[in-house]
């Protein structure tokens, strides 16, 4: 069994890899499930509201008298006259998820967590919302829990009390409250395969090979690579390396590339974005017409570098295996690989748009979501239905409503973006200065 097969046996490949159309269908279904739960919540709230409104002499102290700022129920509301709220579209859900992935990145950077913790946290959030609508679980309540869980699954545990100290108003209870929800929501698949390991291996290989050519080499493939990256190939690779890491720890996490491509493919996609020439020269050298080195020593390299087998997935989500050994027999892998890499890179470039989502747009979506999740505010019922409350699916019992206060503002602002974020923070529950 080869390393490729090892990847094929991973949960990432078996349960978290899809073709683009499958992914869209899943999101559609999840969105529909979210809408159903909102509808149920409103239905129930209507019943509550009408029964609460009938004997409206003395409000029931426990819940009906709840003072709700800005939306205090007036006895004159007729719950049946208010239409169901407009629900979120799959695209709007995705916009929110991406926004919160960016927030998760900021939050992780506050702690200076290593990139595997950061990346795993982002993948957890994305996977969670693949199957759970933001209409049922608002991501803002989940991100502290997700980040804390990721520190544990990546073997980078820090005591929860310390973790909470760094995030204003965050309490241990608020973090733990959602831990099972999140762990179950990602199907207990804690092992996430990141492209960073393949990337470090690949760059190391390139730099080593360049050091060899510096002393003269007969490898024509290498020679070609060196010429393409002239005058200072080593420098060029090093520069690309730095930029590539940036793509791997941001664009790769915000986009859907983890669902569609294998870790080595994502690595090459990021390298291509960082420096087209470096990536293409590398691919040509390892998998091209003259890849003498790739062919002769491929066995050894595959063992050493592990996951450099390339598993391409076609549009239907079918997997097609292209191992270098096959490439050695048949036509070179490079052209096909390059097109896979380019589409992967394209997906990451597109992800940049999410960072530029206008604040107004986020505000608009959140407002819609707010209405969906808080029928009681708009109907005058005393029951929080709330998905709004963090976690809450509309089935949430009322006693949970207060507890959510603790978590709702657990959002950290990256220092650099602090000013920019401040504006946005207002729409998600107030801004939080970072304690350092």
Partner 1 sequence: MSSSASSSATRPSNAAAAAPPTRRTLPFGNGHTPVPASVVEIDDGGGGLSKDNSDDSDIDDPDDINTKTKRKYTKGTAPCYHRRFSSLIKNRKLGEGAYAVVNLGHRRATATDSAVPVAIKKIKVNTEFRDGLSMDAIREVKYLRELHHPNIIALLDVFSSKNQNLCLVLEFLDSDLEMIIKDSSLTLSMADVKSWMLMSLRGLWWCHKAFVLHRDIKPNNLLLSSTGVLKLADFGLARSFADPYRPMTSNVITRWYRPPELFYGAKFYSSAVDIFSLGLVFCELMLRTPFLPGNSDLHQFELICQALGTPTEENWPGVSSLPGYYVPHVDNAAAMVKERGKDFFMNTFIAAGESGVDLLMKMIRLDPRKRCTAREALDVPWFSQEPYPTKPANLPKKGGGKGIEKVGSDLKRKAGELFNSTDDASGRGKKVARKLDFGGGG
| Positions 123 through 152 that interact with partner 1 (CB under 8 A) | 131-133, 136, 138, 148-149, 152
To the nearest 5 percent, what fractions of the chain are helix, strand and coil? 65, 0, 35
CB of 379 to partner 1, least distance (A): 12
**Smaller CB separation from partner 1, 221 or 388:** 388
Query: Applying CB under 8 A, does 157 fall inside the site for partner 1?
Result: yes
CB of 339 to partner 1, least distance (A): 30
The pattern of x and - marking residues 392 through 431 that bind partner 1 according to CB under 8 A reads xxxxxxxxxxxxxx--xx----------------xxxxx-
State the Cα–Cα distance between residues 247 and 24, nearest whole angstrom: 24
DSSP string computed for 391-420? S--TT--GGGTGGGHHHHT-----STTHHH
CB of 186 to partner 1, least distance (A): 9
Question: Hey, how many other C-beta atoms are within 10 angstroms of the C-beta on 72?
Answer: 10
Question: Hey, how many other C-beta atoms are within 10 angstroms of the C-beta on 302?
Answer: 18
CB of 139 to partner 1, least distance (A): 11
CB of 166 to partner 1, least distance (A): 15
**Which has the closest alpha carbon to 195: 148, 233, 246?**
246
State the Cα–Cα distance between residues 152 and 355, nearest whole angstrom: 28
Query: Applying CB under 8 A, does 265 fall inside the site for partner 1?
Result: no
State the Cα–Cα distance between residues 387 and 369, nearest whole angstrom: 9
CB of 17 to partner 1, least distance (A): 14
**Smaller CB separation from partner 1, 11 or 238:** 11
Give 292: exposed, middle or buried? Use CB within 10 Å, 0-12, 13-18, 19+.
middle
**Smaller CB separation from partner 1, 258 or 287:** 258
**Smaller CB separation from partner 1, 284 or 366:** 366
Q: Are strands 310-313 and 319-322 parallel, antiparallel or unpaired?
A: antiparallel
Q: Which of residues 12-51 bind partner 1 (CB under 8 A)?
A: 30, 33-34, 36-37, 40
Residues 6+ apart with CB under 8 A from 29: none
**Smaller CB separation from partner 1, 108 or 406:** 406
Place of tokens 């003072």: 67
Give the CA dihedral 270, 356, 343, 114, nearest 10 degrees.
Answer: 30
Query: Applying CB under 8 A, does 434 fall inside the site for partner 1?
Result: no
**Which has the closest alpha carbon to 130: 85, 90, 162?**
90
The pattern of x and - marking residues 54 through 83 that bind partner 1 according to CB under 8 A reads --------xx--xxxxxx------------
Q: Which of residues 169-228 bind partner 1 (CB under 8 A)?
A: 172-173, 175-185, 188-191, 197
Q: Which of residues 301-360 bind partner 1 (CB under 8 A)?
A: 306
Q: Which of residues 267-286 bind partner 1 (CB under 8 A)?
A: none
CB of 85 to partner 1, least distance (A): 12
DSSP string computed for 351-367? HHHHHT--HHHHHHHHH
The pattern of x and - marking residues 288 through 307 that bind partner 1 according to CB under 8 A reads ------------------x-
**Which has the closest alpha carbon to 366: 376, 378, 374, 355?**
374
CB of 73 to partner 1, least distance (A): 12
Query: Applying CB under 8 A, does 390 fall inside the site for partner 1?
Result: yes
């Amino acid at each position: 069994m080869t390393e490729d097969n090892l990847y094929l046996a991973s949960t990432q490949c078996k349960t978290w890899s899809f073709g683009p159309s499958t992914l869209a269908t899943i999101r559609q279904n999840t969105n529909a499930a979210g809408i159903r739960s909102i509808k149920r919540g409103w239905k129930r709230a209507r019943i509550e509201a009408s029964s609460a409104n009938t004997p409206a002499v003395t409000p029931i102290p426990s819940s009906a008298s709840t003072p709700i700022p800005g939306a205090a129920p007036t006895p004159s509301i007729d719950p049946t006259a208010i239409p169901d709220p407009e629900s979120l579209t799959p695209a709007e859900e995705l916009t929110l998820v991406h926004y919160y992935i960016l927030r998760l990145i900021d939050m992780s950077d506050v702690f200076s967590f290593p990139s595997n913790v950061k990346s795993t946290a982002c993948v957890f959030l994305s996977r969670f919302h693949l199957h759970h609508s933001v209409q049922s679980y608002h991501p803002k309540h989940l991100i502290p829990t997700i980040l804390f869980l990721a520190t544990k699954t990546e073997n980078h545990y820090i005591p929860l009390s310390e973790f909470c100290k760094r995030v204003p108003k965050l309490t241990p209870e608020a973090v733990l409250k959602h831990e099972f929800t999140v762990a179950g929501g990602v199907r207990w698949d804690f092992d996430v395969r990141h492209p960073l390991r393949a990337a470090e291996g690949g760059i190391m290989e390139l730099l080593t090979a360049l050091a060899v050519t510096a002393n003269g080499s007969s490898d024509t493939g290498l020679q070609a690579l060196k010429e393409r990256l002239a005058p200072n190939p080593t420098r060029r690779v090093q520069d690309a390396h730095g930029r590539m890491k940036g793509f791997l720890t941001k664009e790769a996490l915000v986009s859907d590339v983890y669902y569609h491509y294998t870790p080595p493919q994502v690595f090459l996609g990021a390298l291509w974005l960082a420096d087209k020439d470096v990536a293409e020269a590398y691919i040509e050298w390892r998998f091209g017409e003259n890849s003498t080195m790739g062919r002769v020593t491929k066995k050894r390299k595959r063992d050493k570098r592990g996951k450099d087998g390339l598993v391409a997935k076609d549009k239907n989500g079918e997997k097609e295996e292209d191992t270098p050994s096959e490439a050695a027999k048949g036509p070179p892998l490079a052209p096909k690989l390059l097109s896979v890499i380019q589409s992967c890179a394209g997906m990451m470039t597109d992800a940049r748009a999410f960072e530029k989502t206008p604040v107004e747009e986020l505000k608009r979506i959140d407002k819609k979501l707010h209405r969906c999740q808080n029928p009681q505010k708009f109907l005058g019922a005393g029951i929080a239905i709330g998905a709004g409350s963090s976690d809450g699916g509309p089935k949430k019992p009322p006693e949970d409503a207060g507890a959510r206060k603790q978590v709702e503002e657990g959002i950290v602002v990256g220092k650099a973006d602090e000013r920019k974020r401040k504006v946005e923070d207002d729409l998600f529950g107030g801004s939080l200065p970072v304690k350092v």
